[in-house]
Chains A and B, each alone.
Chain A
Amino acid sequence: MKGMKKVIGRPKYLKEVPNHYCPGCGHSIIHRLLAEVIEELDIRDRAICIPPCGCAVLAYYYIDVDMVEAAHGRGTAVATGMKRCLPDRVVFTYQGDGDLAAIGTAELIHSANRGESITTIFVNNGVYGMTGGQMAPTTMVGQKTTTTPKGRNSVTDGPPLKMCEFLSPLDGTAFLARTSVHSPKHIQKTKKAIRQAFQTQMNDEGFSMVEILSQCPSNWKLSSVDSCRWIEEGMIPQFPLGVVKQRQTEPS
């Protein structure tokens, strides 16, 4: 364009293909942020992603880095093996809330407790997105899903699991943060947190995780814009944003 300078464009490591995500889905925003951070940290050749079972199962079609698919919930176990064999790589799992906080809880807790030098990108959309919107451990009290048609009941179903707070007492966890992708401001903060998490791993400080509140308009039965509002009004009061833990490394 004449006399104009391009200031923002599609990141280099986000492939030029249409994705399969629903309109307005937070997964697509998070994919872009990962591609941007990988480019800025210049780690494309040593990044390895472990994609999940869930809507992001096809992440390897979109983000241009090496990937090894894990069975549902087994992300951090596969990442552990990967990182131990190839310690110079930047290894990260990408997991939904059903994947990480339900079927994969055991793997996650023990990987975090061992202080594995891996990063987990935890996409919390409060439902099992791919399988049709069933209740997840992170579903809000009162939230209607296909398995809680009258809304989640905290007596019979328990309250939503706060994974960052849950992992923070473990000695192995070095960086834990909760962010969101419902507005440009929060998207920028999420990018910063992802960069910090990767840097934690590159400094070999221990386990790092970014929990990202992410809109799922299809299963929430809301428009894209209303889904963003629901994160602000319904989720953030229950899932406070910010850095939950940042371990100070002792000077050696």
Chain B
Amino acid sequence: MKGTILIKKAMCKSCGLCIEACPKGSIFISKKINEKSYFPAEFDKKNNECTGCGLCAVMCPEAIIEVYREKK
């Protein structure tokens, strides 16, 4: 694993643009509803292929994705 992301689910509006942006298919729509009645985006921790490229965060209209990379 080279990277990972944190999504602030309470502020997600389920637009799906991060899912479209992720080249690794590492984000999906959660089955659990959030406080605003949206099904938020969720990071696929199980098959983590994240490289920390940051495309999801660049696309996210809500600016609620934090991107982390492994320290060298």
What is the predominant secondary structure among interface residues of chain A facing chain B? Answer: mixed
Considering the complex, which residues of chain B in the window 25-72 have a beta carbon less than 8 Å from any beta carbon of chain A?
A: 36, 38, 52, 54-55, 57-59, 61-71
Contacts of A18 in B (CB 8 A): 11, 36, 62
B62 CB to nearest A CB, Å: 6
Task: Judge whether A24 is part of the interface by a CB distance below 8 angstroms.
Answer: yes
How many residue-residue contacts, CB under 8 A, span A and B? 80
Q: How large is the interface on A (under 10, 10 to 19, 20 to 34, 35 or more residues)?
A: 20 to 34
B52 CB to nearest A CB, Å: 6
Give the B interface residue count (CB, 8 A).
29
Contacts of A28 in B (CB 8 A): 61-63
Give A188 to B57 CA distance when docked, in angstroms.
Answer: 12
Contact of A224 with B11 at beta-carbon distance under 8 Å, contacts A5-B69, A11-B63, A184-B59 already known: no
Contact of A19 with B17 at beta-carbon distance under 8 Å, contacts A7-B52, A7-B69, A8-B54 already known: no
A49 CB to nearest B CB, Å: 17
What is the predominant secondary structure among interface residues of chain B facing chain A? Answer: mixed
Contacts of A217 in B (CB 8 A): 15
B55 and A184 contacting across the interface, CB-CB below 8 Å = yes
Which 8 residue pairs across A and B have the least CB separation, nearest first? A24-B15, A23-B13, A4-B68, A28-B61, A23-B15, A224-B15, A8-B67, A184-B58
Q: A3-B70, A9-B66 are in contact. List 5 more A-B contacts (CB 8 A).
A: A3-B71, A4-B4, A6-B68, A7-B68, A8-B54
Identify the B interface with A (CB < 8 A): 4, 6, 11, 13-17, 20-21, 36, 38, 52, 54-55, 57-59, 61-71
